Chains A and B, each alone.
Chain A
Amino acid sequence: MKRNPSTQVAMKSLFSTYSKRMYLKGIAVMLFLLSFASVSSAFHESIPSIIPSIDGQIQENEYQNHYRDTKINMDVYWTLYKENIYLALRSHAKGWMGIGIDPTGSLMQGADIILGYVKDGKLFIQDNFANSAVNRAPDTVLGGKNDILESAGSESDKGTVIEFKRKLNTTDSFDRALTDNEYKVLLAYSESDDLTSYHPVKSTAFINFFSGNVRNEDTDDVGKEGSIVKTQNPATDSIPAEKDRYQSFLTMLTGVISIAGITIALLIIPERGRSK
């Protein structure tokens, strides 16, 4: 495309002293406005992190996902962040409570279990593995390792809260590597701090920790009010099917081609009176 003479002159003069001065002024104005914006933004609340704080307290909307098991009145909260899962459990009892993920055999056999209790304000938590249908042992005893990276808990008249963080894939053979799949999840708690005490209060749910979808074993209902409570989680509001993702990609491509195509067409079409 040939440039007309006036354009060429304008391009050359772009680097003239006057133009450079104007650029410097432009940069100065931009920096001034930017510094003003920075100062004013300091007065605004900073964007909260999506990472929950492991402090033994569960704040409203702290976690991206929430499942309330109404059968036993126990809550499970979780957030996935990078390669980690932040998980919190809350029961209305003052004894131990635990979560068992993906039992492969009968009852709890093969489940990746984390359980703990709070005594005198201190949390006692264990990374366990169910080596039989009714027994479990700490991973460290079985030859694995403790993969709880951070933990905190609290106990009050309202009940007990346990929060912890671990990797989605700990690479420990006694832990379940969590992926975008539905897992059978065992929930239980007791009124006693004795970890060997039987747990009559127990329930089962099917959770996809990635999508946030939960299926209750008893009701088989997803999203039934009172059974499953989900916070407004953008990652899990409605999971797009593979077709939707493909459709989204096609939409993006169509949009990009349309914008670029219309621009190119407009640039190609000669402007009236331009030849003069």
Chain B
Amino acid sequence: MTHLHTISAELHTGMLVLAFISISLKIIGDKLGKFPKATQVLEQTAYVSALTGFLFLIVSAITGFTQTWPREALLASPLVLNKILFTEFAIVFWTIFLLIRWKYGADLWKSLKLKTLYVSMALGGFLSITLTGSMGGHVAKKESLLDLFLHKSGINTHVPFTLPETWIVPILVFIFSILIISILLRKKYKIAREGAIHDS
């Protein structure tokens, strides 16, 4: 069963990296205004590979938790805790990525907001799986190709990445404030639009 974790880890990484590369190439193609057919294919490729990668990411997360080390050993490792943390982030990023694409289709590229959100999710998901991959390298091989970069950036993946409790509440308050403001803005916009229709 450990092999299942190894295979699913390799597959989700490959697929999700492919999705990110496809999106990046699609953006470059769009900017250049060339190769419209190729960019369309890349866009579809990103969707399909992200979907496949996402499924393997779930399998990888489950097998990683149940089939590798004893649970006590897993939870005793700050590195593994960090790996779980970033796997969760990756799952959230790629879930939103897929939901946006599923809901709006290729039409999302016509909206700057959706396009920005879609690409941001791909970027967030890519960075998350890159970090988890590096941590996986430390778990399996005690080293990672990213080590030089991480050490120079002062990032130590062997220390638990935790937010101080004093930060958590302000962050959550900020997020909920943004949500409330966005709801109010939407209402205001709706009233203004109805007024405009009524006037006309």
A residues adjacent to B (C-beta < 8 A): 6-7, 10-11, 14, 22-23, 25-27, 29-30, 33-34, 37, 41, 47-50, 61, 80-83, 168, 179-180, 210-211, 231-240, 244-245, 247-248, 250-252, 254-271, 274-275
Q: Does B200 contact A (CB under 8 A)?
A: no
What are the residues of chain A within 8 A of B42 when measuring CB–CB? 26, 29
Which residue of chain A has the shortest Cβ distance to B178 in the bound complex?
A: A265
CA distance A232 to B76 in the complex (A): 15
Question: B191 CB to closest chain A CB, in angstroms?
Answer: 12
Question: A214 CB to closest chain B CB, in angstroms?
Answer: 14
20 further interface pairs, Cβ-Cβ under 8 Å (given A47-B140, A268-B182): A14-B106, A30-B49, A34-B18, A50-B69, A179-B72, A234-B80, A234-B139, A240-B77, A244-B81, A245-B75, A250-B163, A252-B85, A252-B89, A254-B163, A259-B93, A261-B175, A262-B178, A264-B182, A271-B111, A274-B111
B41 interface neighbour in A29, A61, A210, A234, Cβ under 8 Å = A29
Q: Which of B1-15 contact A (CB under 8 A)?
A: 2, 6, 10, 14-15
The 8 A CB mask of B139-182 against A (1 = contact, 0 = none) is 11110000000000000001111110100100110011011011
B residues adjacent to A (C-beta < 8 A): 2, 6, 10, 14-15, 18, 40-45, 47-49, 52, 67-70, 72-82, 84-85, 88-89, 92-93, 96, 104-107, 110-113, 117, 121, 124, 135, 138-142, 158-163, 165, 168, 171-172, 175-176, 178-179, 181-183, 185-186, 189, 193
B138 interface neighbour in A234, A256, A270, Cβ under 8 Å = A234
Question: B62 CB to closest chain A CB, in angstroms?
Answer: 15
What are the residues of chain B within 8 A of A7 when measuring CB–CB? 104-105, 107
- A268 lies within 8 A of B186 (CB): yes
- A26 lies within 8 A of B45 (CB): yes
- B107 lies within 8 A of A6 (CB): yes
CA distance A22 to B178 in the complex (A): 38
- B139 lies within 8 A of A50 (CB): yes
Question: B57 CB to closest chain A CB, in angstroms?
Answer: 15
CA distance A193 to B76 in the complex (A): 39
Which residue of chain B has the shortest Cβ distance to A13 in the bound complex?
A: B105
What are the residues of chain A within 8 A of B186 when measuring CB–CB? 268-270
- B162 lies within 8 A of A264 (CB): no
Question: B136 CB to closest chain A CB, in angstroms?
Answer: 8
What are the residues of chain B within 8 A of A10 when measuring CB–CB? 104-107
- A255 lies within 8 A of B73 (CB): no
Question: A48 CB to closest chain B CB, in angstroms?
Answer: 6
- B141 lies within 8 A of A11 (CB): no
- A236 lies within 8 A of B93 (CB): no
- B182 lies within 8 A of A49 (CB): no
A-B contact list, 15 entries, CB within 8 Å: A26-B41, A30-B48, A48-B141, A50-B68, A50-B140, A82-B68, A234-B78, A234-B138, A240-B78, A247-B160, A247-B163, A259-B93, A263-B121, A264-B179, A268-B185
A269 interface neighbour in B40, B84, B185, Cβ under 8 Å = B185
What are the residues of chain B within 8 A of A41 when measuring CB–CB? 10
Question: A82 CB to closest chain B CB, in angstroms?
Answer: 7
Which residue of chain B has the shortest Cβ distance to A243 in the bound complex?
A: B162
What are the residues of chain A within 8 A of B159 when measuring CB–CB? 238
A238 interface neighbour in B49, B84, B89, B158, Cβ under 8 Å = B158
